[in-house]
Structure 1
Amino acid sequence: MARTRAGLGWLKGPEPWTRRMLAGDLVVAGVLALVGLGVEELDNGSGLRMLASAAVVVALTLLRRRLPASTLVTGAALGAFLPGTILVTMLLGWSAGRRIIGVGRAAAAFTLAFFASVGLGVLHEWSQMRPLLVVIFTTLMFLATTVIPGLASRYWSQRRTLLSALQERNAQLLRERAMVAGQARLRERQRIAQDMHDSLGHQLALISVHTGALEVDPHLTDRQLEAVGVLRQASVAAMHELREVVGILRDGIEAPVPVEEAAQPAARGVAGIGGVVEAARGAGTDVRLTVTGEPRPLAAACDHAAYRIVQEGLTNAYKHAPGAPIAVELRYEDDSLVVEIANGPAAGPGAGEVVSGGQGLTGLRERARLVGGMVHAGAVEGGGFRVAGVLPYGAEPAGVEEVADDFGQRAQGLRAVPPMDWSVVDRELAVPERTRTGGFALGCGIAFAAVVLLVIVGGAGVALLVGSMDDSMIDRAEFDAVQVGAPEKTVRDRLPSGGSFLVAGAERKGPDRPEGSDCTALLARDQPSGLGKDLVFRFCFTDGKLVDKQAYEVDQ
């Protein structure tokens, strides 16, 4: 069993050979062997030669994957002696054209096969004394049945290899483009993080220092000290948030909280909304928090988005409606959490110019969209303003989608990557027009050459058929003129040679032949009018004399 597996492993060669492929090769070998048996029958082959022809066809078909050059040369050489293997050379030429590595080796293999086919063909047919006709016919048959399939197979294999290389190159370009875009984003985020740390960090540190100093100022009233405490707590919370944002911008993850600051971490979810509301109340704002429904856990991204919506809604109310009462409501519904912040009209004019970047609500909408939710903001009756967000439970961050490229390949995460300019990729992978034209011209040239060769082979076959008919046909008068008892040499000089496939086996048909005689069969030029019958003239010789001549009809 182990030897059988090793033999099959060697037989299949370097490429995978599945059971389906093995079954296909066996079917092809069987069909070619059956057709070869028919060719052998037409050539009057013996039973042993038919068996050998079938065995050679099966062996060459199975070995062509492992030994493409050797099977090509062997099949071309044996074709001169075994006509039943003539069709397998088409399969061998196709296989050798795509499996022989290197143009030089392929040309050498096909050249050696050509000389083997022509040389052995001439040697086998030397007795017919027509070497030139054999050379021409064998050459044309070799070109039509071996060279043309080999060229077509090599062209097809190279085209498939080119497409595979283009696909691999395209995938590499996608990976490199994503890597370059990721590195560019990382550098930009690091630059932004550095700018935020240097500017905002410095300003918040100053606020914290000054408010800390004011907390111990004995000249301030209790109300003022309470307000200063609120400011200090807000500056410390802002420092925590700034550190977190800088860490995310730099590394893509939240920055760790130092041990000394872990006692008062800034909550970043629904649990921290109460703290935000209490801080707003401490600053003198009338804020009411209402929670309805059964609280349910949220995904981390949704939890953080809810906190940010409340924070941004309160900030907008501080800026645009100072002194107005604010209502914050959390509603746990069946499929989502609704966060609503509503304020009434401003109680009086603002303290001064309102500084706003105009991106707060836009950022909230994008944040909610990324987790599968939505945010709505707008004015309400009575001059107030309302911000409402709907966030699903257990939603995963959006933004990763699969995009198919021109070759059907997939690339993930392209939403976060700048849109790819496929025109640039097409220009980089485009094949020059003259190359495409040259490939088309090559394919047309191969097809045209195949048609021309087939026409030439057909013409040569017709010419050979006409010549064979001349060598195997006589008139009735010539048959009657030959007398029994005449010397064999005299009779053969008057008659054609009869060496043609048209009369192959005809001498064994008809009346019994004289014992020990050597017979030659020829066709009559004037055949009977009935279809399916041939009139045959047979001459039998013994001891150098014509001992018998017969005229009889045989089935075609």
Structure 2
Amino acid sequence: MRATSWARDLWRQVLEPGQWSRRRLVVEGLVAAVLALLAAGLEDLSHSGPVRTLTVALAVAALSLLRRALPTPALIAAAALTGSTPGGVLLLVPVGWSAGRRIPGVLHAVAAFSVSGAVCVALTALHEPPTPATLVFTVLFYLVAAVVPGLASRYWAQRRTLLRALQERNTQLLRERQMVAGQARMRERQRIAQDMHDSLGHQLALIAVHTGALEVDRELTGRQREAVGVLREASVAAMHELREVVGILKDGVAEEPAVEPVSRVAAGIEALVESAAAAGTPVRLDRSGEPRPLAPAADHAAYRIAQEGLTNAYKHAPGAPITVGLRYEPDSLLVEVANGPAPAGHGPWPAAVSGGQGLTGLRERARLVGGMVHAGPVDGGGFRLAGVLPYGTKEAREETFVDAADDFRGQSGAVPPGDGGPVIDWSDPREEFENIMGSKKKNGLMIGCGVGLLILVGLAVALVFGVSKVMDEADKGMIEPSLYASVQEGDPEEQVRGKLPSGKSFLTSDVKDKGPAEPAGASCLSLLSTDTSKGLTTDTVYRFCFQGGKLIEKREFDVKN
């Protein structure tokens, strides 16, 4: 049962549909084909037979395809192939890269690389004499070809995982802040709505009740009753508008009417002018151009401009003539309220109260719909308030809680937390990301760089030591062909040995027994030739045999590696 389950898991890891997308299939196939061709080329250079060359190429291609699904077995098999044949040398780099990032756990990864390194060194020692220089070269090659790519790949994968986790955390923090800001804004708006309903609504209700009672007073004249009726209607209209504003503040969004409301520019402003005229104010309405519909926000802004202009004229220039103008231009609507100078003997009403925010609010309304507001005195006395509002504009979209330019990789999305800007001045998400990273990221980066630097220094020292060792061994066991030709049989042994190196080198340790039989009773010295014209797989050996204090034989022969 265990064997069946293990085989099923192995099959799922290797051939699971999600493991092999079209793109990965193409890329992995190309990489495997290239590595197989390179392995076949190296085998051909080492004069391997066609069967062995084909076998090595197929093994390299198979390990290349399996290096992601089975990182540990692929790493050990690649190390064994590298130690057994030159065709597997180039496979260690991609296999080590894949194993470094895919082997779970540090201990597991260290064990896998240690076992594969031991296998590579052991199999290399079986094919060549296990001299110190051979071991150093094998270990050095394994470190460069497998361990360094594995460390780099593992660091890169861990860095990507850390960045992804930090991005997700940053996104979650932004969303939580959006929720907190929206809830705080909603609570504040509900508090404001409650205060407005309790205080301002009560005062307006009292005004409506008292004016209604005063309107039916028999002692009033007809003109006085008409003026009181205007006040009552104004207070009732103010109560309706207050109720609408309170509803918007409580719910957070304005309710969409079931039927398209009548434009306040067409009907509302006309009603304002009629009410002012009924109250005895000299006001007239001028219209020009062909009426065109406005978006609800622009329509409401036009109504507020006319309302604010009439209110200011009532308070600051009572009795002055007022002109309300509606000019439908080709691209925008111009709403204008202009009053002349106050008549002699009239000044501002003593009871006039101003919060100083009327014009500021109008400018903000106009800006949100793409328009503008101008207010100022006119020549000859008087005051003019005008607003330019474009057609077809919709109410400006509320800004998202995180500005697009400051959003870290667009993580917060486009869903606003509520209507309006944030209630708290949050920090830039990128600064928050740096704070999350903190000193741990810097310390980890410094540690990683330090470890990498130590590995590079160690590799450099090993490389220098290996090169110097090879050169020293070459000086002890190799001579030039010209030196071989200058020595003649019959020369004194002392003179000949003075010209030749000692021959005590690992390079010549295995060639002594591969040549022809030595003369009986003679002492022979075997050296390698520096001439490599016969190929890397064939060594030329010069042998010098001495007897009776003289050189009795010098011989040249070839040895296959």
* Alignment match, 1:364: 362
* Alignment match, 2:383: 385
Counterpart Cα distance in 2 of 1:396 and 1:256: 14
* Alignment match, 2:151: 151
Unaligned runs of 5+ residues in structure 1 are: 1-6, 482-493, 508-521, 540-548
Aligned CA RMSD, in angstroms, stands at: 4.2
SS at match of 1:390: strand
Give the C-alpha shift of residue 137 in structure 1.
3.4
Cα deviations by residue, 1:208-235 (Å, 9 ceiling, x for unpaired): 1112222222222222221221111111
Query: Are 2:241 and 1:241 equivalent residues in the alignment?
Result: yes
Query: Are 2:109 and 1:106 equivalent residues in the alignment?
Result: yes
Distance 1:28 1:297, change over 3 A: same
Distance 1:116 1:472, change over 3 A: same
1:27 counterpart letter in structure 2: L
Give the C-alpha shift of residue 316 in structure 1.
0.7
2:438 counterpart letter in structure 1: P
Counterpart Cα distance in 1 of 2:487 and 2:506: 14
Match of 1:31 among 30, 34, 38: 34
Distance 1:47 1:182, change over 3 A: same
SS at match of 2:404: strand
Give the C-alpha shift of residue 76 in structure 1.
1.3
Counterpart Cα distance in 2 of 1:480 and 1:13: 73
* Alignment match, 1:3: none
Give the C-alpha shift of residue 88 in structure 1.
1.1
* Alignment match, 1:452: 458
* Alignment match, 2:43: 40
Matches within 5 A, 1:401-480: 401=399, 402-405=403-406, 407-409=408-410, 411=412, 412=414, 416-418=421-423, 420-422=425-427, 426=431, 429-430=434-435, 431-433=437-439, 435-457=441-463, 459-460=465-466, 463=469, 467=473
Counterpart Cα distance in 1 of 2:121 and 2:232: 103
Q: TM-score, normalised by structure 1?
A: 0.79
Which deviates further from its counterpart, 244-253 or 167-176?
167-176
1:72 counterpart letter in structure 2: L
Distance 1:278 1:495, change over 3 A: closer
Matches within 5 A, 1:168-317: 168-254=168-254, 268-317=264-313
The answer (yes or no) to whether the contact 1:377–1:387 under 8 Å persists in 2 is yes
* Alignment match, 1:52: 55
The answer (yes or no) to whether the contact 2:184–2:423 under 8 Å persists in 1 is no
Give the C-alpha shift of residue 160 in structure 1.
1.9
Counterpart Cα distance in 2 of 1:185 and 1:51: 74
Give the C-alpha shift of residue 453 in structure 1.
1.7
Distance 1:468 1:13, change over 3 A: farther
1:432 counterpart letter in structure 2: G
The answer (yes or no) to whether the contact 1:371–1:391 under 8 Å persists in 2 is yes
The answer (yes or no) to whether the contact 1:471–1:500 under 8 Å persists in 2 is no
Cα deviations by residue, 1:369-397 (Å, 9 ceiling, x for unpaired): 00000000000012111011000011122
Unaligned runs of 5+ residues in structure 2 are: 1-9, 491-502, 516-525, 544-553
Distance 1:129 1:98, change over 3 A: closer
Counterpart Cα distance in 2 of 1:495 and 1:143: 29
The answer (yes or no) to whether the contact 1:43–1:501 under 8 Å persists in 2 is no
Distance 1:17 1:382, change over 3 A: farther
Counterpart Cα distance in 2 of 1:140 and 1:293: 90
Give the C-alpha shift of residue 470 in structure 1.
6.3
Which deviates further from its counterpart, 46-55 or 327-336?
46-55
* Alignment match, 1:67: 70
The answer (yes or no) to whether the contact 1:237–1:266 under 8 Å persists in 2 is no
Cα deviations by residue, 1:380-428 (Å, 9 ceiling, x for unpaired): 0121110110000111222545522263326545972257443697267
* Alignment match, 2:324: 328
Give the C-alpha shift of residue 267 in structure 1.
7.0
Counterpart Cα distance in 2 of 1:447 and 1:21: 33
Cα deviations by residue, 1:89-113 (Å, 9 ceiling, x for unpaired): 1111111111222223222322332
1:166 counterpart letter in structure 2: L
The answer (yes or no) to whether the contact 1:240–1:266 under 8 Å persists in 2 is no
SS at match of 2:375: strand
Counterpart Cα distance in 1 of 2:124 and 2:334: 92
Give the C-alpha shift of residue 366 in structure 1.
0.3
Give the C-alpha shift of residue 175 in structure 1.
2.1
Instruction: Work out the number of aligned pairs and report it.
Output: 505
Counterpart Cα distance in 1 of 2:51 and 2:190: 85
The answer (yes or no) to whether the contact 2:476–2:504 under 8 Å persists in 1 is no
Cα deviations by residue, 1:109-165 (Å, 9 ceiling, x for unpaired): 22332233233333x33xx55265554433332222111111111111111222222
1:408 counterpart letter in structure 2: R
The answer (yes or no) to whether the contact 2:316–2:347 under 8 Å persists in 1 is no
The answer (yes or no) to whether the contact 2:529–2:540 under 8 Å persists in 1 is no
Cα deviations by residue, 1:453-484 (Å, 9 ceiling, x for unpaired): 25414643664576589678896799979xxx
* Alignment match, 2:499: none
Counterpart Cα distance in 2 of 1:377 and 1:313: 9
Counterpart Cα distance in 2 of 1:285 and 1:168: 64
Which deviates further from its counterpart, 471-480 or 453-462?
471-480
The answer (yes or no) to whether the contact 2:324–2:336 under 8 Å persists in 1 is yes
* Alignment match, 1:116: 119
1:460 counterpart letter in structure 2: G
2:171 counterpart letter in structure 1: A
SS at match of 2:225: helix
The answer (yes or no) to whether the contact 2:281–2:321 under 8 Å persists in 1 is yes
The answer (yes or no) to whether the contact 2:373–2:388 under 8 Å persists in 1 is yes
The answer (yes or no) to whether the contact 1:302–1:371 under 8 Å persists in 2 is yes
Counterpart Cα distance in 2 of 1:496 and 1:427: 64
The answer (yes or no) to whether the contact 1:144–1:450 under 8 Å persists in 2 is no
* Alignment match, 1:78: 81
Counterpart Cα distance in 1 of 2:165 and 2:375: 53
Identity %: 51
Distance 1:14 1:94, change over 3 A: farther
